Structure 1
Amino acid sequence: MAPHFPLDVPKGFEDSVELADDDRRKFAGMMAALDDGVGNITRALKDNNMWEDTLFVFLSDNGGDAAFAGSNYPFRGNKATLWEGGVKVPAFIHGSMLKQSGYVNKELYHFTDVFATLLKVAGGEPDDDIDGKNQWDSLCRGEHSERSEMLLHLDTHPVTNGAALRSGDYKYIEGITNLVVQKLNQNDELHFDQWYRPAESPDAEIPDAPLISENVNNRFLFNLKDDPLETTNLFNDPDKQDIINEMKQRLDEYRASLPQFWFPPGFDERGNPDNFGEAWTPGWC
């Protein structure tokens, strides 16, 4: 999970967690407060006889940031990277309408699927031209996901040029792996592509893999089923070239349909990259 900076524990939770590392203790205290809030919502629904008609969805929006005591261990990478530590997030759903429960679902879902799925559960019908897919049958009954492919990233800017595609068990990455332009010059020092031990587990095992230098020539292929920690780059494996070529072709198809997103007409001046170290923002952060 990834509470936003500054780390500030709500009153009453200061001593809820005992950890030696001060930032990690604050982080855990914030999570304890979040857990308490979820408990309050759950009790309110039960007290008002609404729990049995509620589908409860809990998820994070991105991986944790090690700079602010977050940890994605044992997965590789930091928040705002293309590694699984930045892409893969914890989530669970609960509800009496689930036909299968109490299991770990390992199917492929995208954040945009949440809207389409909840709309269907509520009795609506998602439009055919939206990005999300209705995944209710998969979540409710444990059937296969409605998607086998996921575009993770596509950036054509010369400074941050990069792309990533998930197809079945494989993930292909090319170019820059860090999605925050201000952090590109920090990568050689902080290595956002590596594995970060939680502060409370300083002896935790981490894979031995070469450090990444951020440049447009980076190329990676991982079999996430066999190698979920992304330790073995298969890009130069002669037996995987057909897979790589297919994924490159799919990225070219996405590029062909890519709308203009660098300096689009009518942009909000509050988000001008000149004000944010050459990083495009929507103007609100």
Structure 2
Amino acid sequence: MLRVRDFSNYKFRPHAVGKLMKGLPKPLTQNQTETLIALEEKYSNQKITEKQLETLVDLRKKQKAKPVLSEGAKTYLKSIFKEEVFGRKKEVQNKYLTKGIAVEDENINLYNEVNGTFLIKNEVRYENEFFTGEMDIEEDDEIIDFKSSWDYSTFPLFEDDVPNEDYEDQLLAYMDLRPNVKSAKLVYGLVDTPVDLILDEKRRIGWKLGLIDGLPEDLDEEITRNMTYADIPKEARIKKFIIYRDEKRIDQIKAMILLAREYLNSLNTTLAKHLQLI
């Protein structure tokens, strides 16, 4: 049975808002801004060449570009629409997500041991006009979100910038849910992979190599070693990034949500036409 849904007030989960942001126009670079100012002056003085005029028109268009939903965002919104209207939900599963969920407590415990804290998992869901979400840690005006690296090779030990900008938008959405919070921490942890996932990885590699009777002992041990980290100092297995509150970016996220709501409602019309109801 189809469920009619008005998406005008649909609230997005913070972990998903990054999917909406790819159609946001990029601001002009410092060099482009300086070029635009110089060309505007040339234009006003009627001392601009044809090629310079083309550049001026292009920069003006970029400066005034409005946000749009990318095709990827539309695909994501179509899946939301079908879940809501059909009353179904597809569980996304992959080895990275499975590990992240399985070791959530281990990540928090590792962080506590390294930092001498006693943080516990937040179980309160917050909502406002745009978002609904449950951050990992929310305590004393502090928000922390944990990510678990799949293995040592993906752990961002030496990164200065957040590896995935979608995570920055996620933390900004969390901060919008908690108005007093001025910054949040994104924490990557490198913790042991659960045994069942290690066994899955060994089976996958064995199948790929055509080893029906099991892996050679040295390869088996190498896989286990690459997915467990007790021999690495705990301090080297925690990486923190600070995300500062950015009201301009938060407003941009909300603007994209407004576009997303409009698109979701337009799908109601598309579906009605498909069913020959209008």
TM-score by length of 1: 0.20
- The structure with higher relative contact order (CA 8 Å, sep 6+) is 2
- Between structures 1 and 2, the one with greater helix share: 2
